[in-house]
Structure formats: structure tokens, C-alpha cells
Structure 1
């Protein structure tokens, strides 16, 4: 059969049918995943079209996957972070949903308090065990959508569940039908999709879900879970590791629309962010993230990274308040007690701080030379310079101007005698064997002794 695809404006064949391949032995892709070797990335040079959705958004798993990697958040902490996610996502709801456990009294209290806020975005959703009792729990707590684990690779089907592919598919369909019966929108978490037989199980399973959607008129989402971070973004990479191939295949061969496809990545191979962006580019509307990337093992895709990625890809923040990213980082460090590595992009203490003297000289002339964007405006985080043995006069001048907020005629030039005095003190420190940078409070005390009039300039 031939149909006209309005998205591509081309005639396309729709005769491709992918039936379940109920194999007797699991396909573990041992040529790719030899456990005693680093996984191999193969290419078949089959390139699929880049086809971004009309609308893309972010979903959050801070209070589900994120809580599996750290001490549980208190109810107060969850509520504060939920408020910040709402503020960050803006009026268009770019941060569309927030996912919660429903089991402990603390979980339930947090869900109720977040629901009481009455926000349209992010929508509160749940993740539950695949039992009828849990579906009723979710329904009674006011959930409209819930995540359901449907493990997809033969590693999980054969080795964890001790089932065949056919048994697993039938088991999953019965669970999903139970959710629909109580009025819960199912979000099917295709666990370990980057080690699964795509045409032998993933597409046939997705086709069954599509059929169920048409019968029940209930939307069913697919969350493509890169559970071990095996996904790769490269054009021409072969399945099962190809992120473009997975998203394109779910859309093209299984017929799932973009708004029902979501990517959930892990960072085991440092590809969480680029894989999430690739999922957007090839047709997934949603990418699932956690604040600061906190999650299992190496973590999830950092939500703050995808906020910035959204703006890069769409050319607009669409109403998101990016300065909230800094609020979130400060809350984690000051209130929750979580230490963010200082060089973490966008949220680390020193992510936009330079230590090289030649860089500091450039910053003093025009900060755009050595800063990625206007971090003062977009993140409420002014560019900084660390004072050490290499920062030079320019670095000290930049630190003074930035720290004391000196602008216009009040700005101090690197040739100023006061800067030279401070530089002499700094040089003496390192001549005597110091190896660490000089902290802000320490430098303030030195200035108070050597050049106290600088304090008056900042008033």
C-alpha cells in the first residue's frame, strides 16, 4: 500500500510488517556486548531522516529515578524543587511533567502537596509496580498517567523474567490493559531498549500498543529507556545502539506520533545529553531528565542541560526562566547539602571562572571573548576569575571589579597602583610555596589591609 506522508510530502510504502520473533534462545548481541570487552559501536551506513517534532519538551524524574541514587528528599525539599521546576519551565510548560513514587507516606504526602499547588505544569505523574492494586492506588491519588516497566531486551526477558518474548509481550499487554481499565494513561518504559531486538520485539510490541490505543481511544506513551547508556547519536550507526534509528523506527515503522515518544538516557558513556538532543532531532517530543543529572550509577540526563539545549535548537527559551537554574544549584548546596562538582557546566561554582592570566586579560577587555554567553543575564551568574599565580594583573583587576560590582568610571584598570600592591602580595604567597587558589574572603581581608579605599568604591 502507498500513502502520502504530509510530514515529508512524499509517497511512502507501508507494506513493511514486523511480526514478533519468538526465538528459543536470547539474542544477547555478544558480538557487540562481550562482557569482558568495551562494547563495540557498529555502522551499517543506513541514515534515517532528521525529523524534529513540531513541539518538544522536557519531563522530570528527579523524585523517581533521582531518588534511587541518593538519600530520599524530605517533603519540604520536594515541594521547593517542584516550585522551582514550575518557575523554570515557564508559562508554556516546557518542563511538562514530574514523576513520583507512590509508596511511602512521605511519597504520598509530597504528591498531595504538589497537587495542591494547582499548577498546570509540570503535571504530577507516577511510577508504580505493574499490579492492579497499584493502578487503583494511582487512580485514587488523582494520577492521570503512570509509568509501567516493560523490559525489552532478551537480557531482561530471558534472564530476569524467565519468559519468552511472546510470554513477555502478552504479560505486558495484560498489565497495560489493567491500567486503561481504571482510567490511567499508560507510559510504557521500554527498559534496556539499546540492547533489544528492534525489529524482532520492539516494533511488534509497539504495533500491539498502537492497536490497543485505537481500540480503547486511550493514548499510550513509549519511553525509550537507554538503561545502561549504550545509545550512540552517530548517523549511520547500526541498531540496537542507534538513537536516530530507535526514534525513527518507533515513529515510522510502529506509527507512534512524536508526542507519544519519550527518551530516557543514562550517562554511562558520557552521552546522556547528546543522545537526548538526538532523540529530539529525530522525532521524539519528550526527553526525560533529572535535576543535576542525579540518578542510577552515572546518572540521568541533567535537566538544566536540556533547558539550554532547547534554547540552542529552537532559538528561544519560550518563556523559561533560566536564572532559576542557579537558584536550584544554590538550593542543593545550601539547603540539601549536596556538593556539585565545581566545574559542572551551568551549575558548578567555577564553570565560568577562568584562571589563566591571558584569559583574564581578555575578559577585562570584553568578557564575551572568554565567556560562553551572558551568564549574568541568563543564569544570574557573573563571569569570574580565580586569583592565583597565573592570573596576572588583569585577573586581579577583573576579580576586584566583579566582586565589588564596579562599573563605568569606578572600574579599576590593571595598571592601577592598588592592583599592583595586591599582585605583589599574591606573588609573595606563591614564592613561599602556596599551591592553592586564593579564596574570596581571604582576598577581601588582604584588600582591607592594603587598599581599603576599594571598599568605598563599591558602596
Structure 2
């Protein structure tokens, strides 16, 4: 059972709009094929009632009404009427699964509590509702007051209850305890149907859910992205993968839709999915180390059963300091680009250089890097930038102070400009005209490109066209910093000119 719309909405700061709830319900029932969903708590608000009613009307038309469940309370039939008038058919009745809760919160004896439950079950049955029973705080109850739990169960085992639901309400159990206590319930009441409802306070919700299923528990509860009270509930994606791979269970859930649903719920909830969260995290199917990519090329040595395609995703190979040529090759394959070994080596070196300047080099950056390397890295380095300083102050023109080396000799210059790059170019122009007595080309076009999906740390490709004595030269620079990319393009242009001049002199 998925309880994203009920328990998941109890995540701090999460409140789904009515249309968002309807959208999530459709995704869960029709795209993922979840068998049951819990959509609301009775009597919460007028808005919740209108949402639940609208969702039940939709579910009735689509043949899903028996899959809709709503949390109800021991409130003299008020929850029953609320749920019935919504059009729902199943009430998940909340009762107390520990003696402490019964004694201190309800201030009743176990027998008084049993009578209240029996009366509510009777009323629900009279209006045609099916009943599941939540034993709230059961994990504390079974540890510290097992006689209370068994008294409650013995009194209710013959009632018209479809499922007895065992919550680890405060997320206190570990897998060994879960195994022990769920097994005790199953052995004592072999003819009853049980669900297990895990919370993630110790980051053990998935492990505890797995342990519960080993005892023969017939149902488990989860939420999309692990949303829920405090540290959340067992995450749907992890539970499904564990059930399919480790329990060898058949759930009917459509694995290849989980990533799509996760992303939509992420956007609706505003709660970001951690990049390393299993199955759905942004980076969990990304190999970073070059040795892993190399192993994948050699009989998939670094694959496991969690193939990304199962979950509507694909394997990626990160580009950075640790990636190596194997990762580059994998990315080139996906882009349909073929390079010789020497070119791959040079591209890899450039990726490593660039990864020192930005958080991540993306596959979208790769064509720009290849273009930069293959077009310009064979140019002889007659002109080099030794250092430069760019000053930008509010109310004053930018200033550039530079030192360059031309054919082994150092020249310095300074200038103001209408922008930092303009000041840089004017400083070089001064050196060429005043110190070298040379013509400096005129800039005819300046273009900045950012790879698709780029953020503020994206690589920037700057392409500049120059007119040098009637000849058009086009050079490009690539860097995480736009100014640095423009300076690279400028220095490449000066080296092309030096090559031309030296060729003329030699001939």
C-alpha cells in the first residue's frame, strides 16, 4: 500500500494541492499499478473532504474504488460518515497498539478500548465499509506490553477486519526485532492478514520491511521518495527493488515508471531527492571512476541486478579528474562520435583540466571540448599570456593590466574599456601598435554558447570572428569562466596570425 497522499503529506512543509493529489493517485494506480493507496485522514478539513470525494468519484469511474483507503478514528461514527459520504469503501481504523497509548492518551482500560473498536467496526459494516485496523505504536506495545497486544488481538480476531496493520510508529525497530515480533504475530494468528508499516528514524525502514516479509507478512506500506512523518516512511522504490530481487515476490508494480513518478512527486512536494538515494538519486547510475567504465567495457564487471533500464533510467559515465579514457569512450559512444586514441588522450587531458575549475563536466559539454581540442590545440604557442588583472568597480570603467609573451619576449600594457574584455583587448592592441608596431585585427563577431542544461557553473564556449587584413579568422575558447574563454579565443587568434607572419617571412 502506498500512503504518500496520507502519511507522506505529513512531511514537514508538504501540502499537496487538490489537482496534485489527483495526479499522484492516477500515477500510482494506473502508471505504477500500486494495489492500494491511502489518500487522506478523515475529518481533517473541508478541502481534504472535497479532494477525497473528487478522487473517489474518479476512482469509481476508472474501476479503482476498492483500492482507495482512508484513515478513520474512534469518534462515535463521525469518521465512518465522512468516509462513506466521500464514496470510499475502505476505512483504516486507528486504534492503540500499546498499553501506554491506551492508558495515558485515551485514559481507558483495554476492555473499554476493545468495546469502542467493536462498536465502530459494527457501524462501518452496516454502511458497507471494509475495515483494516491500525495498531498504533505496535512496535512499542509488542516489546513492552505484549500481554496488552495479545489481549487486544484475541478480542478482535473474529471481528470483520480485513487486515491488521502493524506500525513501527516511532521507527524504533531493527531488522532482527522486526523479524522476531512479526513472526510472533504470524505464529499466534496464522489465519489473519497482516500489514507492516515502517518509519525511517534509524534509516532502517527498508531493511525492516524486508525482514517483515520474511515472516509471511502479506502487505507492506511505503511512500514515494520516502516522504512521511519525521525521517519519513519506507521508500517505495527501494522496497519494490528489495521485494523483486531479494524476496522474489511478484507485486505487479511497473518498475520502469518509478523514476517518472518520483520526479513528479519531487516537484509537487518541494522535497529534493538526494543525489545518492538508491534507484532514484541523480547520481546512482553514474560511474565516476575510470576503472569502472573500463570494467563495464569488459563484460559488464561493475553491473549488478539494479540495471537502470529497469527503472526508466540509463547508465552514465561521469567526466572529471577520475574518469579516464574509458569514461570518455563511453560518452563518445552515446553521442555517436568516433575519435582515434591520440585524440581521446588529448580530450581526456582537457576534461581533467576543466574539472579542476567546475564541479562537473557533463556529457553535454563534451562536443564543445572536442571542438576546442581538435581545432586549436595544435596551434604553435608563439603568443602566451603571462598574467593579467581585471578590475571592475561601480561607477568606474573597467581596467585591464596585462603581460604577454610574443616569440619569447615579454610586453606589458594597460587600458580601460567599456567592459572587462574590451579593456583586455585594448591593452593588447596598445602593445601591438605601440611596442610591436604591428596591425591588430578588428573583432567582427562575438558569440557565447552554453551547453544544454547548463547551470551557473556550466562550461562557456566563446567564438570570436576577427578581420585581419581582409582575412576572416574564427577562434574559440572553452572554460567555466566566460572571460577566460574569451581570452583563450583571443590568444588563439594571435597565434594564428604569428603562424601566418612567420610563414611569410620564411618564404
TMscore range, shorter length: 0.7 to 0.9
State the match for 2:17 in structure 1.
74
How far residue 124 of structure 1 moved from its aligned partner, in angstroms, is: 0.9
1:251 to 2:186 alignment = yes
Secondary structure of 2:347's counterpart equals helix
Secondary structure of 1:73's counterpart equals coil
How far residue 309 of structure 1 moved from its aligned partner, in angstroms, is: 2.0
1:350 to 2:283 alignment = yes
1:311 to 2:311 alignment = no
TM-score by length of 2: 0.66
1:401 to 2:326 alignment = no
Q: Is the 8 A contact 1:250 1:256 kept in 2?
A: no
Q: Which residue of 39, 42, 48 maps to 1:99? A: 39
State the match for 1:41 in structure 2.
none
State the match for 1:269 in structure 2.
202
Q: Which residue of 362, 375, 384 maps to 1:439? A: 362
Structure 1 spans left out of the alignment, 5+ residues: 1-58, 235-241, 453-459
* Higher relative contact order structure (alpha carbons within 8 Å, sequence separation ≥ 6): 1
How far residue 129 of structure 1 moved from its aligned partner, in angstroms, is: 3.0
State the match for 1:30 in structure 2.
none
Q: Which residue of 128, 135, 143 maps to 2:88? A: 143
Paired with 1:416 and 1:84, the residues of 2 have a C-alpha distance of 47
How far residue 449 of structure 1 moved from its aligned partner, in angstroms, is: 3.6
Alignment of 1:105-116 (within 5 A): 105-115=46-56, 116=58
How far residue 444 of structure 1 moved from its aligned partner, in angstroms, is: 4.6
Q: Is the 8 A contact 2:351 2:369 kept in 1?
A: no
Q: Is the 8 A contact 2:214 2:247 kept in 1?
A: no
Change (3 A) 1:73 1:365: same
Greater Cα shift, 443-452 or 288-297 = 443-452
How far residue 441 of structure 1 moved from its aligned partner, in angstroms, is: 4.0
How far residue 250 of structure 1 moved from its aligned partner, in angstroms, is: 2.5
Q: Is the 8 A contact 1:86 1:122 kept in 2?
A: no
State the match for 2:67 in structure 1.
123
1:381 to 2:301 alignment = no
Q: Deviations over 1:342-401 (max 9, x none)?
A: 1111101111112112112212334x3223236343112111121111111112222332
Paired with 1:444 and 1:146, the residues of 2 have a C-alpha distance of 57
TM-score by length of 1: 0.73
Paired with 1:451 and 1:373, the residues of 2 have a C-alpha distance of 39
Q: Is the 8 A contact 2:24 2:265 kept in 1?
A: no
How far residue 435 of structure 1 moved from its aligned partner, in angstroms, is: 6.4
Q: Deviations over 1:167-189 (max 9, x none)?
A: 43344333333333433222211
Paired with 1:420 and 1:121, the residues of 2 have a C-alpha distance of 60
Greater strand content: 2
Q: Which residue of 192, 207, 229 maps to 2:154? A: 207
Over alpha carbons, which structure has the higher Rg?
2
State the match for 1:52 in structure 2.
none
Alignment of 1:31-430 (within 5 A): 59-69=1-11, 70-90=13-33, 95-102=35-42, 103-115=44-56, 116-117=58-59, 118-120=62-64, 123-131=67-75, 132-196=77-141, 197=144, 199-211=146-158, 213=159, 218-234=160-176, 242-257=177-192, 260-313=193-246, 315=248, 319-334=252-267, 337-366=270-299, 368-373=300-305, 375-402=307-334, 404=335, 406=336, 412=338, 416-429=341-354
Secondary structure of 1:148's counterpart equals strand
State the match for 2:429 in structure 1.
none
How far residue 65 of structure 1 moved from its aligned partner, in angstroms, is: 0.5
Structure 2 spans left out of the alignment, 5+ residues: 376-507
Paired with 2:124 and 2:323, the residues of 1 have a C-alpha distance of 61
Change (3 A) 1:134 1:264: same
Paired with 2:268 and 2:155, the residues of 1 have a C-alpha distance of 47
How far residue 101 of structure 1 moved from its aligned partner, in angstroms, is: 2.8
Change (3 A) 1:209 1:256: farther
Q: Is the 8 A contact 2:90 2:132 kept in 1?
A: yes
Alpha-carbon RMSD across the aligned residues, in angstroms, is: 2.6
Q: Number of matched residues?
A: 367
